[in-house]
Chains A and B, each alone.
Chain A
C-alpha cells in the first residue's frame, strides 16, 4: 500500500493556466505538507495543514492555495501558472507532537511552457 500518493506524476502546461495536484495519505497522520524542490534540489516548505487548519504559510505567492477536504487529503491549486513555477512538488505527512518526522510522496514534476 502506498503511504503518501500524489497525482499526477508529471504535469506539463502553458503559462497562465490553472492546475491542481492531489495528495492523499493513508497513514492516519494529522499533519500534511507541500514542498517545492527547484532544479538545484533546494527544498522549501510551502504549506502545512494540521487538522484542517493552516499552521505554516511560508511566503509563497497567493496564486498557490492548499485545499484540505479531510485529514487524509491536501491538494495544491495553482492559478495563473508562470515559468518560475516549474519544479518538483512534494507532498508529505506527519504526526505532530513527539517527533515531527515526515513521510514524502513520490513528487509531481510540473513543467510550465
Chain B
C-alpha cells in the first residue's frame, strides 16, 4: 500500500526566507511524485513532478524538489519566499500497477508568508 505524509499542516516563514515543505512517501514500486499548489478558492495547480529522470526537479515560481530514494522523501524548497507563495501545498503519489493508477494526496501544508 502507498501513503504520503506531509509533516506540518502549517508552516510560517518570513518574506525572503527559505521555504521547506516536507513530504515522505511509502511505496512498494517506484512512484511518480508531484507537488501541487492551491490558492484560496481555486483548483490545484501543478508545481513540479518527478518521473524517474533527474532527482532534482525544478518547477514553476522558483520551486524545486529533490527525490531521495534512501529517505523516501520529496521535499519542496524555494530559496526566497514571496508573499504570493502563501497557499496550500499538496504532495501526491501515483503508482501504475498493472495498468491501474493509484492516486494518493497528502493532507496538505498551509504556507504562511510573513512580511
Give me the interface of A with B, judged by CB distance under 8 Å: 4, 31, 33, 40-45, 48, 55-56, 90, 92, 96, 98-107
Contact = CB atoms under 8 A, between A and B. Distances in A.
Given A55-B100, A55-B101, A100 B94 contact: yes
Contacts of B36: 104
Interface residues of B, number: 26
Contacts of B108: 41-43
Contacts of B49: 99, 101
B51 A56 contact: no
B45 A104 contact: yes
Contacts of B32: 99-100
Contacts of A106: 42-43
A99 B80 CA distance: 28
A105 B42 CA distance: 8
B99 to A, nearest CB: 8
Contacts of A4: 43
Main secondary structure, interface of B, reads strand
B43 A56 contact: no
Given A104-B36, A106-B43, 14 more contacts: A40-B107, A41-B110, A43-B108, A45-B103, A48-B103, A56-B100, A56-B101, A92-B44, A98-B51, A100-B101, A102-B44, A104-B43, A104-B45, A107-B43
Contacts of A101: 34, 46, 49
B64 interface: no
Contacts of A55: 99-101
A101 B51 CA distance: 10
